[in-house]
Amino acid sequence: MKRKIRRIVLVAISALVALGVLHTLYLGGMFRTIEPHAPGACVAIEGIVGGEDLEWRANGREIFVSSDDRRNMATTQGAIFLVEPGASNPQPINVTPALDFDFHPHGISLFIDETGKERLFVVNHASHTEHSIELFDVNEDGRLLHVRTITDSALISPNDIAAIDGERFYVTNDHGWRHPLAKTVEDFLQLALGNVLFYDGQGFEEVYGATRYANGINTSLDHRRVYVAETIGRVVHSFARDARTNRLTLEESFDAHTGVDNIDVAADGSLWIAAHPRMLMFLPHSKRGSVRSPSQVIRLEHGEGGALAMKEIYLNNGDPISASATATARDGLMIIGPVFDPFLLVCRLDR
């Protein structure tokens, strides 16, 4: 009798494990059919490795690019590049000043004041466990001048940043644990340990918690809304922002059914979001560039009644660009930045 009970228990446990594996594969997009399409012809801008985040300058022609060779962080420094994607022969320019600290940029946010003065906010990973926010003023030619460094124990694993003025900003922590191995466990167990912080010029405060890989963050053009992408949660949150307290009130959680990454807000208020349709391919791709991870770009906009509606703009099976992290669109062009590949992809928006 005891042997029979043990057998039943073993079968039940095996079934639960199998269901868990299948559920993980499903959420990771491994059962998804990829039917590649693009809105027009695409060309590469070479010379920028791991262009993970993009920000348009005030002139509307040039973009800042957060670049880092993430497979070789121990032996290389990251950089901020400036490039004009609509030029006939775009040539990236490294505008990073000389720095006396390790620089590995991640998310970036450009604040432009009423006079046109620009300040760039940069998430920096000095190491796998040491993080900071770096502030740079921007010269007329786009070159950067380092202003100061912000550090705090609240910056556990910062990913992206959204400035609301020249001093204050929101920032996401994609994990609740610092150590790389612990982060991997957190991801595979789909633990909701990430959060969103607000920096008021003096210190940090958590304004939203229990996120599963809080990734991209941005604000509406009037700063009345804050948008947050949860990669493992596969959702995009829309929050109402209290301009006095900077607290966030959740309005909507849009299920994108894909691993959403960075968020760009276009001039018409729509959200352009790069995504990972097969998230489980990202890990092997991070180790070897020959293993490709599909890329996707979606566009969200507020429809009638204010609810978000989605349109897929771009999808591939990992080529020509792999592991898309960011996308932005302006003047008939869409620019996609990857986590690892050594180029940006520029596509015409013909359809």
Length of the chain: 351
The one-letter code for the residue type at 234 is R
CB 297 within 8 A of CB 337: no
* Domain boundaries, given as residue ranges, for the chain: 32-348
Which CATH code fits 32-348? 2.120.10.30
What pLDDT shows up at residue 1?
62
pTM of the model: 0.93
Q: What is the pLDDT of residues 122-169, one digit of tens each?
A: 999 998 889 999 999 999 999 999 999 999 999 999 999 999 999 999
Judged by average pLDDT, the poorest of 65-69, 185-189, 229-233 is 185-189
What pLDDT shows up at residue 323?
98
Collapse the DSSP code of 145 into the 3-class scheme (helix H, G, I; strand E, B; otherwise coil) and give the result.
Answer: strand
> Which of 258, 260, 282 lies closest to 272, judged by CA?
260
Q: What is the pLDDT of residues 79-93, one digit of tens each?
A: 999 999 999 999 999
- Hey, what's the torsion of the CAs at 325, 345, 321, 238, to 10 degrees? 30
> Which of 90, 227, 218, 96 lies closest to 162, judged by CA?
218
* 98-124: average pLDDT: 98
Residue with tokens 């000043």: 97
Report how far residue 330's alpha carbon sits from residue 349's, in angstroms, rounded to the nearest whole number: 9
Q: What is the pLDDT of residues 228-243, one digit of tens each?
A: 999 999 999 999 999 9
- pLDDT above 70 covers what percent of the chain? 92
What pLDDT shows up at residue 12?
66
